[in-house]
Structure formats: structure tokens, C-alpha cells
Chains A and B, each alone.
Chain A
Amino acid sequence: MPETIIETPDNVMRAAQEAELAHADKGHLGDRLILNMGPSHPSTHGVLRILLELDGEIVIRAVPDIGYLHRGDEKIAENMTYNQFVPYTDRLDYLAPLANNVAYALAVEKLMGWTLPPRGQVIRVICCELARISAHLLGMGALAMDTGAMTFFLYAFTEREKIYNLIELLTGARFTTSYTRVGGQTRDLPPGFVEQAKAFVEQFKGKIDEFDQLLTRNKIFVDRNKGLGIISKEDAIDFGLTGPNLRGSGVYYDVRKDRPYLTYPEYNFSVPVGAVGDCYDRYLCRLEELRQSTHILEQALANIPGGPINIGDGKGFLPHKNTVLTKMEELIHQFILVTEGIQAPEGEVYFGAENPKGELGFYIMSKGGGVPYRLKIRAPSFVNLSILSKLLPGHMMSDVVAILGSLDFVMGECDR
């Protein structure tokens, strides 16, 4: 294979650009400070590094630096079968692994042209919404803690613990779930899961009101969030923000409503939208999404259809172990599926799912065979963070943590 080594004039080019940018604004009074925030700063939620130029306490320029958690997931995906990639999706947005699993499985199923039986779809909706609640709780908890409200963080984590117990019951793992496969799930709902989930949802409704009372009118919290980090409607769309960050700016866009997937059209829920687009609005959107998610969960749990959870196609989904051990044809299917993977048709698809952080999209380009030719992950955190260098300048240094908290990103997903 020919080897291409290309020396890039990156440093030279950058120096030239910096020279051009120099003295863009001369209105500063005192000394300029260059402050290196991160990559291990408590409020950067992982390994985000921002280089801040400060004039006193005011941020003049912000240069985000990402990539500390880059693992080359897209390259890895090109070298393995579709099902082998499922565990890697756990590690994208590691606060909502179930939702990532579902989004990835749906993307590959779109490429295959498969539709799951109703029971499988409802199970996936339950997974997604549990993941959303869990991720939003952490996002809000971290925002509250960054702005000085430690109590809320502990309240939120108590509830997350209960969700982790449910997830453990369902998948066998608390954190790295790897629950879905292309064409179905690894296992059906375990006995007692529905009752426990219902009990959780029932008590969680009261908890949301508690959160609401604890934080929404908290003077300190409101003062530290209101009117800060305002993203205009136009900017939000122009930068491609998705999820609560986009809706906080007053744009109605929710993939569950606009390009519906699974059984979402059957449920009655609304999409909260902010008015101003500041940190507080983004918080309010998340809080309301908790309510809507419990609403969806209630409806989904109340009506779980019977029947299979996987597509019946023996050539697409692993046959049951009992039949593999007793029947010839199933044994062959398993052998082919495990060694060569699912045989995908030629073509390309993009599937975006409404994840807690925003639209998680997978662009899959297949040349046929068991391995994707190219798999691109459209990570919502990556796109949401790209607005930082425009959003931060003009704010006080201490507001940076509030803005970062309200954007609610995960670096595992951002860096891939």
C-alpha cells in the first residue's frame, strides 16, 4: 500500500493567522491575562481545555481546545462488523449509553431496511427515556453545583442511582450497557422490571417538583444563570445546535417530533421551548423535559405489547441458543453472523436520534458486506461546543462555568 506522508504547515499558518488577528480590539485597560482552563477543571466535565484571554475579569477571547479523549471511534468502526461496534457507542455519551445504543442500532437498521416488532420498539423508547432522565439529572446537577448549589447535585444523584439499578436489572451492567444489537435487543424485559420502573416513575414525579422548588426560584441560582450566555435563535440554528441548547433559544426542533422514529408518534408529549436563550432557559428546558420523559415512560410502560423483541430474520439476528444447539440451519446462521457479520446492502444513510445532548447522528456509507466503509458520528456535544468561542467573550470569568454547565456536554462524545 502506498504511504502518503504529508507535512502540514499548520504552525506557520496559524502564526500568520494570529498575526492577522492581533490588535483586533484595543479597548482594554489593564494587563491581559491568558488563563488556561482545563483540561482537568471541575466544571469542564471531562477534558475540555479553553484558553481564555482576560481583561480584568472579562473574557475577551476564548479558544477551545478539544481532542484529549479522541480514540478514533470512526476509524475503529471501519474495521469491525456492525454488531461489534455496539460497545463503542456506550462510550460516546457515557451518561446515556442506552440512548446511544438505540441510536446506533436504528441507524444500521435503516441501512438494512428493517423495522423492529412493536415490543422491541417500546422497549427502546423506555431505554431512551430512562437514559434521558439520567443524563439530564447529571447535567442539571452539575450546572447547579458549578453555580453553588451542592444540595441539588446530591438529590439528582440519588435519583440517578435508582435509574442505574433499573438499567442493571435490564442489561446486566450499570454503565456500559451494550444493550441493543442490530435488529433487536440482547434480552427481553426481565420479570419485575415493569413494576419497578412504574414505581420509579411514580415516585419520580414528586421528585421533579422537589427539584423545581429547590432550584427554579433559588435566588443565587437564578442570579448566576439568568441573562447569561444568551444564544440567539439565528446563532443557534447557524451553529447547528441541537437538543435543549437549541430549544432553549426558542427553536422548536425535536427529532422525536419532526422525523419520528420508534413508537414516539403514539405518545402524547410536548416539547418545551425557551424564550431568551440564556443559561436559565436551557435549565428550564431540561427540567421540563424530565416531566415529559416521565410522561412518555408512563404511557410506554402502561402499554407494552407482547410478541418478539427482535426481527425474526434468522440471517440478520442471532438465533436463540437452544435452536443453535439443536438445529442445523440456525447453527449455520450463527456461524455466518459471528464470522462475517450482517451483510448490508450498498448505500448510504444518515440517521439522527434525539439524544439527551441533542441530535446524535450516524452517517453510514456501505459498499456491501459486513463492515461499514465509512461511519461518521455526528456528535451533538461536538457541535454544541463549537459555539463557545463566539459565546464566551464578553462574559465574566466566573460565568464561564455556568455557561459550560448549561451547555451540558460530554467530552467522550465530543472527541469520539
Chain B
Amino acid sequence: MPSQDAISSLQKKFPGKVGKGKEFRGEWSVDVDRDIIRAVAKYLKTELGFNFLVDISSIDYFGEEPRYEVVYEFCGLGGTNNQQHLRIKAKVSEDTPAIDSLVPVFQGADWHEREVYDMMGIRFTDHPDLRRILMWEGYPYYPLRKDFPLEGKPSDMPGEAFTHRAPLEGGPFVAAPEVKHSEIGEALTTINEPRAKPAEH
């Protein structure tokens, strides 16, 4: 379905919650209310043929309210829909920086949303595993926010994320016989590998 038609069907399906479609350089984008984002994604995927979630990104309009915006890029794969592209945007306020996760609809949203959370601090409700992905666990800032300076900020967290020893009971890599699953999470945080050189391939 062409992007304009998709936008008008969205407007019909969710009256009052979908903004006006905007065209720029042949691409259509539309603002939607953040409460309905998962319903919109589901509708796009099942009814309108936009079954491919290309990307999720986020924008920080520092000094404006609502401050954040989450941007979803969809396109269709297969059939007559191959060339269509549609951008859905949802504003997120600074007081409650949260939006519904799309993981129940698109499994691929998992890492995209973790990245948005990591970089911009927007939480995704019902995300199965909302952890930091590029920065390390416990890093106190959200670097892509506009009030985070380019040169970075000192933080109490060491540059090496974790410094205590890994539990290497009974030999290298061997956990205790009755290993609890929770130890995987612990091992994630405790093995202190030296950061490797970037260029080795």
C-alpha cells in the first residue's frame, strides 16, 4: 500500500491520535500518539503490509516540551509493497520518558530499543531485556542527550566497568555444579577482560 494511503488508513483506524502526514524528498512521515504506538505497529504489520522494521532512532529536542521523539522507519517486504517506506514518530515527554516496546510485534526491535534507552534514556515498557547495550552497565549518563557535552563527563564509575574477579570455581570458566541461572547475569558483570585493541581483525 502506498505510504499516503497507509497514513489515511491509520487516521481512520485511530481517529484523533494520528497527525497529518508530511512529505519531504519523497518520504512520508506521520506523528502518532505515543499510547497507540504498539497498536499502530501491529496494524502496519498485519493489515497494511509494512512488515519490516528498518530502524528505531530518537531525537532530543532540548528545551522543548515534549522533549523526546522516537522515530520508527518501516518498509514492506515481499509482494507489491517492496518499495514503500513510512516513518512513524511519537513524542515522549521529559517527565515520563517511556513508550511501549515494539518487541511483541517485531523481535528485531529488541536491540534498537536497547540502544535508544542506552543513548537517550527513553524507557520501553514491556521490553524483555532493557539493559544498556553500547555503554557499560551502571554508566550514569545518556550520551546522546543534548545536555551531555561532546567531550564527555567524569563519572564515579571507573572506565573499566567492573574490577572484581570472576568466580572461576574448579577451573577456568567452570561454574559450580548447581549453577543458578542468575550467575550468568553475575558473570556478565564480573569477568574483567582487558578491552581489546580496536583494529585487530
Q: Which A residues lie at the B interface, using CB under 8 A?
A: 1-8, 10-11, 13-15, 17-19, 21-24, 31-36, 38-40, 45-47, 49, 51, 53, 61, 63, 65-70, 72, 74-76, 79, 110-111, 113, 235, 237-241, 251-253, 258-259, 347-350, 352, 359, 361, 363, 365, 373-374, 376, 378, 382-383, 385-387, 390, 412, 415-416
A3 touches B140 (CB 8 A): no
A374 touches B77 (CB 8 A): no
How near does chain A come to B7, taking the closest CB pair, in angstroms? 16
A75 touches B181 (CB 8 A): no
Complex Cα distance A373/B131, Å? 26
B33 interface residue (CB < 8 Å to A):
no
How near does chain B come to A50, taking the closest CB pair, in angstroms? 11
A376 touches B201 (CB 8 A): no
B2 interface residue (CB < 8 Å to A):
no
- How many contacts A-B (CB < 8 Å)? 190
Which residues of A lie under 8 Å from residue B174 when comparing CB positions? 31, 33
Chain A's interface: helix, strand, loop or mixed, by majority?
mixed
B133 touches A361 (CB 8 A): no
Complex Cα distance A72/B118, Å? 12
Contact with A along B158-200 (1 / 0, CB 8 A): 0000000010000001110101111111011101010110101
Complex Cα distance A352/B143, Å? 25
Which residues of A lie under 8 Å from residue B175 when comparing CB positions? 31-34
B3 interface residue (CB < 8 Å to A):
no
A22 touches B173 (CB 8 A): no
Partner of B187 from A36, A110, A238, A416 at Cβ < 8 Å: A36
Chain B's interface: helix, strand, loop or mixed, by majority?
loop
Query: Given contacts A4-B145, A10-B138, A46-B200, is CB(A235)–CB(B83) below 8 Å?
Result: no
Complex Cα distance A255/B135, Å? 31
Query: Given contacts A6-B121, A386-B111, is CB(A75)–CB(B150) below 8 Å?
Result: yes
Closest to A65 in B: B188
Which residues of B lie under 8 Å from residue A24 when comparing CB positions? 181
Q: Which B residues lie at the A interface, using CB under 8 A?
A: 24-25, 27, 29, 51-55, 57, 59-60, 71, 73, 77-78, 82-83, 85, 87, 106-108, 110-112, 115, 119, 121, 128-138, 140-145, 147-148, 150, 166, 173-175, 177, 179-185, 187-189, 191, 193, 195-196, 198, 200-201
Partner of A110 from B25, B73, B112, B147 at Cβ < 8 Å: B25
Closest to A138 in B: B201
Which residues of B lie under 8 Å from residue A252 when comparing CB positions? 78
Which residues of A lie under 8 Å from residue B150 when comparing CB positions? 75-76, 79
Complex Cα distance A33/B27, Å? 50
Partner of B83 from A241, A258, A374 at Cβ < 8 Å: A258
Which residues of A lie under 8 Å from residue B87 when comparing CB positions? 348, 350
Which residues of A lie under 8 Å from residue B131 when comparing CB positions? 10, 13-14
Partner of B52 from A3, A237, A259, A363 at Cβ < 8 Å: A237
How near does chain B come to A18, taking the closest CB pair, in angstroms? 4
Complex Cα distance A21/B181, Å? 7
